């Protein structure tokens, strides 16, 4: 798969494309339905599937106060799209200029001139162009004179919940990582570089990798979780090359020690030999184990951590 930063990065001899457009933050099951349609069409017609996405999230430019935190980094999004069979991802830098393009300008510059769109696959609620003036109907009208067909995809629901990035963000923020995983079709992931903590973990018998998590990341509620520490990210072509290690994850201020900063840390089960400092790693959240507690002392905390680790082992089996 190819990743293009901006329209200028598209090869000059690029031919026709099946195009899908959206932020696709999370690449959740609703997004997968849209991308799946584009990839199926691509396989049937032998025309490559291209996803056009935006970075930063358009709301960060249009209404910063209302901008959501991100479920996925751009590199992770691209890798997930690659896993779905997309041939190329074009990342458009969303800024005031792009936001000012009328629906016609957007269609001409991006779909017609840059990508030679043959088919455009979007969610039925897709909006585009200045002040979100364009909808699926206008897109189809513009396509009729520019040689592309529009395929709207119905929104996916289950048990009354529409799969949406907002739904997933809310579940993660409440610590409901199992519900988030069902909507995503995989565990929610938090990424960061491993930094030094308080050098206490080894003494407790549980060294933990402390992640420096970028602001604007959707971090699960304080608590203890079962999950995976993933090495070999970022990658932005596919998830191939990742290795997963079983982990007991703690999020919280470590109240037993009167900590103030919120930590995101993970103990890799049965390992003491790892050196993860300065490495970019990911944590995949599989299940919630319990709330964070303030223990009377170190012995009580360690006794509970022993039980946590056994529970994590069972949950990941």
Ligand X SMILES: Nc1ncnc2c1ncn2[C@@H]1O[C@H](COP(=O)(O)OP(=O)(O)O)[C@@H](O)[C@H]1O
Ligand Y SMILES: Cc1cc2nc3c(=O)[nH]c(=O)nc-3n(C[C@H](O)[C@H](O)[C@H](O)COP(=O)(O)O)c2cc1C
**Binding flag, residue 276, ligand X (CB under 6 A):** yes
Cβ neighbour number for residue 223 with a 10 Å cutoff: 17
Contact in structure between 78 and 116 (CB atoms under 8 Å): no
Looking at the Cβ atoms of 129 and 252, the one nearer to ligand X is: 252
Contact flag: residue 252 with ligand X (CB under 6 A): no
The strand order across the sheet containing 17-21 reads: 2-5, 88-93, 49-55, 17-21, 117-123, 149-153
Give backbone dihedrals phi and psi of 136, rounded to 5 degrees, phi first. -60, -35
Q: Which residues pair with 117 in a beta bridge?
A: 17
Tell whether residue 206 is a contact of ligand Y (CB under 6 A): yes
Interface residue with ligand Y among 121, 172, 179, 305 (CB under 6 A) is 305
Beta strand extents in the chain (DSSP E only): 2-5, 17-21, 49-55, 88-93, 117-123, 149-153, 157-158, 161-162, 188-195, 209-212, 223-231, 243-252, 263-268, 280-290
Question: From ligand X, ligand Y, none, which one binds at residue 255 (CB under 5 to 8 Å depending on kind)?
Answer: ligand Y
The neighbour count for residue 262, using CB atoms within 10 Å, is 12
Smallest gap, in angstroms, from Cβ of residue 125 to ligand Y?
41
Give the binding range for ligand X (CB under 6 A) out of 44-52, 119-127, 194-202, 233-241. 194-202
208 binds ligand Y (CB under 6 A): yes
Instruction: Identify the bridge partners of residue 70 per DSSP, sorted by sequence position.
Output: 217
State in angstroms the smallest separation of the CB of 69 from ligand X: 25
Q: Does 254 bind ligand Y (CB under 6 A)?
A: yes
Sign of CA dihedral 96, 99, 100, 101: positive
**What are the two backbone dihedrals, phi and then psi, of residue 10, each rounded to the nearest 5 degrees?**
-70, 130
**Residue 233 binds which entry of ligand X, ligand Y, none, with Cβ cut-offs from 5 to 8 Å by kind?**
none
> Is residue 199 at the binding interface for ligand X, with CB under 6 A as the rule?
yes
Contact positions with ligand X (CB under 6 A) in 200-219:
201-202, 207-210
Complex with ligand X: residue 257 or 277, whichever CB lies closer: 277
**Footprint on residues 143-202 left by ligand Y (CB under 6 A):** 197-201
Among 162, 195, 255, 261, binds ligand Y (CB under 6 A): 255
Residue closest to ligand X, measured at CB = 201
- Kindly list the distances between the CA atom of residue 304 and the CA atoms of 184, 219, 226, 260, 283, in Å, as whole numbers in the listed order: 31, 23, 14, 21, 21
Contact window for ligand X (CB under 6 A) among 84-92, 147-155, 199-207, 211-219:
199-207
Question: According to CB under 6 A, which one of 198, 212, 306, 310 is a site residue for ligand X?
Answer: 198
Interface residues with ligand Y (CB under 6 A)? Answer: 197-201, 204, 206, 208, 210, 224, 248, 250, 254-257, 265, 267, 292-293, 301, 305, 308
Interface residues with ligand X (CB under 6 A)? Answer: 194, 196-199, 201-202, 207-210, 267-268, 271-272, 274-277
């Amino acid at each position: 798969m190819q990743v293009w930063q901006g329209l200028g990065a598209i090869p000059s001899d690029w031919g026709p494309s099946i195009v899908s457009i959206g932020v696709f933050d999370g690449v959740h099951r609703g997004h997968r339905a849209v991308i799946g349609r584009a990839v199926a069409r691509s396989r049937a017609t032998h025309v490559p599937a291209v996803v056009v996405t935006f970075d930063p999230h358009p709301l960060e430019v249009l209404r910063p106060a209302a901008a959501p935190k991100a479920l996925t980094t751009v590199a992770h999004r691209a890798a997930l799209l690659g896993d779905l069979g997309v041939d190329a991802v074009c990342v458009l830098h969303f800024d005031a200029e792009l936001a000012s393009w009328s629906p016609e300008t957007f269609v001409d510059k991006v779909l017609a001139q840059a990508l030679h769109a043959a088919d455009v696959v979007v969610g039925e609620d897709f909006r585009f162009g200045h002040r979100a003036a364009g909808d699926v109907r206008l897109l189809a009208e513009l396509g009729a004179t520019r040689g592309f067909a529009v395929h709207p995809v119905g929104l996916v629901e289950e048990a009354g919940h529409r799969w949406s990035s907002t739904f997933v963000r809310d579940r993660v923020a409440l610590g409901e990582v199992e519900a988030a995983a069902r909507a995503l079709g995989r565990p929610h992931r938090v990424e960061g570089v491993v930094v030094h903590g308080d050098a206490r973990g080894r003494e407790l018998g549980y060294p933990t990798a402390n992640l420096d998590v970028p602001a604007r990341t959707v971090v699960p509620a304080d608590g203890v979780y079962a999950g995976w520490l993933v090495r070999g990210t970022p990658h932005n072509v596919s998830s191939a090359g990742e290795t997963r290690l079983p982990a007991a994850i703690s999020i919280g201020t470590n109240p037993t020690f009167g900590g103030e900063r919120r930590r995101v840390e993970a103990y890799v089960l049965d390992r003491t030999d790892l050196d993860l400092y300065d490495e970019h790693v990911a944590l995949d959240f599989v299940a919630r184990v319990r709330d964070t507690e303030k223990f009377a002392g170190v012995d009580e905390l360690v006794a509970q951590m022993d039980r946590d680790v056994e529970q994590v082992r069972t949950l990941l089996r």
